[in-house]
Amino acid sequence: MADVTFTVDGKQITAPAGTLLIEACKTAGIEIPAFCYYPGLSLQAACRMCVVRIEKMPKLQTACTTPVAEGMIVYTETPDIAQARKATLQLLLGNHPLDCPVCDAGGECELQDMTFKYGAADSFYAEPKNHREEQKWSPVVYFDRPRCILCYRCVRMCGEGMDVFALGIQNRGSSSVIAPNVPAHMSPDDLAHVDCEQCGMCIDACPVGALTSGTYRYKTRPWEMNHVATICTHCGDGCKTTLGVRSTSDGSEIVRGDNRDKSGINGDFLCNKGRYAFDFANHEDRITQPLVRQPNGELKPVSWEVALDHVGSKLRALRDTRGGKSIGVIGSNRITNEEAYLLQKFARTVLGTNNIDHHRTADYVSFAQSLAGHTGRTASLNDTLKAPAILLVGGDPTNQSPATAWNLRTDVRLNRARLYVANSEEIKLRRQAKAFVQLAPFGYNAFAAYLAGDNAAAASAASDSNALSAFRDAVKAEENLLILIGSELRGAELKKLIDFGLTIPGAKFALLSDYVNSRGAADMGLLPDMLPGYMPVGSPSDLATEYAVPNEPGLDMLEMFDSAGRGNLSALYIVGSNPVARYGIDPASLKDTFIVVQDMFLTETAALADVVLPAANLYEKSGSVTNSYGDLQQVNKAGDRAGVRSDFEMIVRIADKIGADMRKLVPFGKGLRADMGQSRGAQSGEADRHAVWLTANNLEPRLSPFDAFAILDEIQRLVPGYNILRLQLLSGNDQHLSPVAPTPLVQIGTRRDQVLPANDSLFTSGTLGRFSTMLGDLQQNEAQRLIQIQTAAD
């Protein structure tokens, strides 16, 4: 729309016609207070806090519902406005409990802030306040009714934002109350509950302390925490979560996760895992001492030095006696890019083996190879919020990548995007879809063929051929289509779908995977046949040239275990992975293999190990991760636990013990003559600008092999597609990368399909999720609900 110019508090402002006054003012730096207004949700005009004076209007007007108009003259802070807001606050405070000293929201409360600003401190009511008991709606959502100011943000967030509709408004007038969808009288425990996705968005949206989080309530005060914005370790969306950490006797404990930052790639959104499932770090089963198996078979705690010596000497001996190719390495989907890169480099250059793999949750190799020769065809998570049309084939974002689902719903709601869903299941996102076609089980290959024009494939793709045909016509008529692909599609069928998509002008693609760095693990070459950046082993590449990399592809995950079973695998080095449980490996097959496991817990895999090294998790380290879409983001260290080490450090120290050249493994030491801080100065509380500049421009000294940035330098230098903008990364922003396999193509379809989707639900997260008490509680909560439904049905 055309721009209009208007005046606010004497300041000339220009904004597109139709912009809401409250938004236009915010953009211009004029903050208008509001409780009920929430960007992107439907308008309420209920709280009356955003009232402003508009010339020629007799009454004060609500800025949240007024579109800007040419020549409009607006005042946002006059005595009558201040009085109106003050009176509104006085009315709210009349029944508000004023238990701010113990309220979770104390210090982060919009009502407190407004009261402070407008000085509505005097109370003139003699009547007692309406007190109600706090209600536990779910393990993670608590409702304190007297604190509620009825802004309806939670109701809209749950309904419009989440498409869950678990919260409503009941009664009317001063008896109005936010009500959850399981009323007390219909609940076996006579208490009201929410039957929902437990995302906690209602808590996020609540301007006061009416909705509080089960993980955080009454734990601490906001100002007693440090707030660290980092990337959630769970699904492949890679949301930014802000972790509140507090010092403890053995490190620093994460006490809260939320989205207070809202600067991340996830925008307003954070799901239950990002919000609550940080508690594995504090789980009582966590290992904090290295364990070495004794001759009697027991795992015994030893010092780090002893453990690392043992690992180093043993691996060196096995490499030197049985050859590097007798050793296997398994990486993780939850370690940083730097760690993943370092691990494969360690395997290839120190151990001398290409036997390296990880739990693949999507076929990124075929994805990259299918897009070889094309540029600008990979989508960012940001595209899911803006694309005019989306084709979702396979996958279930609602449960497996909730931020993607949030964005798609938002895109449909606010931008009227056209969503096309093809799935063998009736996934929830079909409710937002313009067209949904239910595919036959395993019908993706036929569907891809059908899209590409093979009409004979229709019968095996879906039972409803008319729907299928209309679906294809609609999809083919689109331009700038965003094609989201679930991990069900792999190899040749994935290529078939992408080939079809490439015929649509402006189409972009993304392949959804399951964990925070599933994509990074593939990009970084945790693969037996691919070097970082999908450079095939044996073909010329910078990496292969610079370091001595074995020329033959190594063993993949299953081959390694087969080899172990035959007694040919001398050692297996497993970093942050639990393949024994995931792939159902027979423990007996590993009896002749020397196993080293880096993990937080004594998992099924770790329990078989000869050495277990207690590892830090993603929230306890720094580095970078790449989400499903190829968006790179920075991970910041939030929590800390005495006794554990980052995987990066452990790899380096093991390499050191093996006798590797540290400077070759981690190219540190560059820039030793740099300014070491003599001339630096930062005012208290400010960033050290000198340091920021040096870091941003890749000029800071790498002082030791433990500096992950030294590896990032190398990733940037050697991995095609990882042309990182440092300042973007360090500012906590996301950046889209698209490593693309080199042409000519390696034949797709000849590789073994080793993709094993995690199929996590909203309340599971692989092995790690089992150690999250909160996720456990939510699973139990969900199970109980299902039993109740079953009982009710009987």
Residues binding another protein (CB under 8 A):
43-48, 51, 58-60, 65, 83-84, 87-88, 91-92, 94-95, 124-127, 132, 145, 149-150, 165-177, 179-181, 183, 185-186
Name the residue nearer to another protein (CB basis): 163 or 599: 163
The strand ranges marked E within 91-208 are 135-136, 141-143, 167-170, 177-180
Distance of CA 264 to CAs 625, 707, 731, Å? 14, 25, 11
Name the residue nearer to another protein (CB basis): 123 or 455: 123
How far is 158 from 205, CA to CA, in rounded Å? 10
Name the residue nearer to another protein (CB basis): 96 or 325: 96
Nearest to 509 by CA among 359, 364, 625: 364
Query: Which SS3 state, helix, strand or coil, does residue 313 take?
Result: helix
The CB-of-60 to another protein minimum distance in angstroms stands at: 7
DSSP letter at 693 equals H
**Sheet harboring 631-635: ordered strands across?**
623-626, 631-635, 735-736
648 and 666 in contact (C-beta within 8 Å)? no
The CB-of-179 to another protein minimum distance in angstroms stands at: 7
Name the residue nearer to another protein (CB basis): 66 or 333: 66
399 and 791 in contact (C-beta within 8 Å)? no
Name the residue nearer to another protein (CB basis): 116 or 125: 125
Q: Which helix (H) or strand (E) holds 101?
A: none
Distance of CA 463 to CAs 421, 459, 488, Å? 15, 6, 19
Query: Which SS3 state, helix, strand or coil, does residue 575 take?
Result: strand
Q: CA neighbours within 13 Å on the CB side: how many for 772?
A: 28
Specify the pairing of strand 389-393 against strand 418-423: parallel
The CB-of-73 to another protein minimum distance in angstroms stands at: 19
Name the residue nearer to another protein (CB basis): 129 or 752: 129
The tokens describing 220, both together, are 């601490």
How far is 109 from 93, CA to CA, in rounded Å? 13
The CB-of-143 to another protein minimum distance in angstroms stands at: 11
The CB-of-788 to another protein minimum distance in angstroms stands at: 14
How far is 122 from 115, CA to CA, in rounded Å? 10
The CB-of-44 to another protein minimum distance in angstroms stands at: 8
291 and 300 in contact (C-beta within 8 Å)? yes
Nearest to 35 by CA among 205, 274, 187: 205
How far is 452 from 751, CA to CA, in rounded Å? 23
The CB-of-409 to another protein minimum distance in angstroms stands at: 17
The CB-of-37 to another protein minimum distance in angstroms stands at: 12
The CB-of-109 to another protein minimum distance in angstroms stands at: 16
The CB-of-88 to another protein minimum distance in angstroms stands at: 5
The CB-of-173 to another protein minimum distance in angstroms stands at: 4
Name the residue nearer to another protein (CB basis): 175 or 249: 175
Query: Which SS3 state, helix, strand or coil, does residue 629 take?
Result: coil
Name the residue nearer to another protein (CB basis): 27 or 123: 123
How far is 22 from 52, CA to CA, in rounded Å? 10
The tokens describing 356, both together, are 């390296």
The CB-of-34 to another protein minimum distance in angstroms stands at: 12
Nearest to 547 by CA among 525, 521, 517: 525
CB neighbours of residue 147 within 10 Å: 25
Name the residue nearer to another protein (CB basis): 56 or 172: 172
The tokens describing 392, both together, are 């979702």
Name the residue nearer to another protein (CB basis): 15 or 51: 51
Name the residue nearer to another protein (CB basis): 10 or 58: 58
Specify the pairing of strand 11-16 against strand 61-62: unpaired
The CB-of-182 to another protein minimum distance in angstroms stands at: 9
718 and 739 in contact (C-beta within 8 Å)? no
Query: Which SS3 state, helix, strand or coil, does residue 210 take?
Result: coil
Name the residue nearer to another protein (CB basis): 183 or 587: 183
Taking the mean position of all CA atoms in its chain, how far away is CA 309?
36
Name the residue nearer to another protein (CB basis): 293 or 413: 413
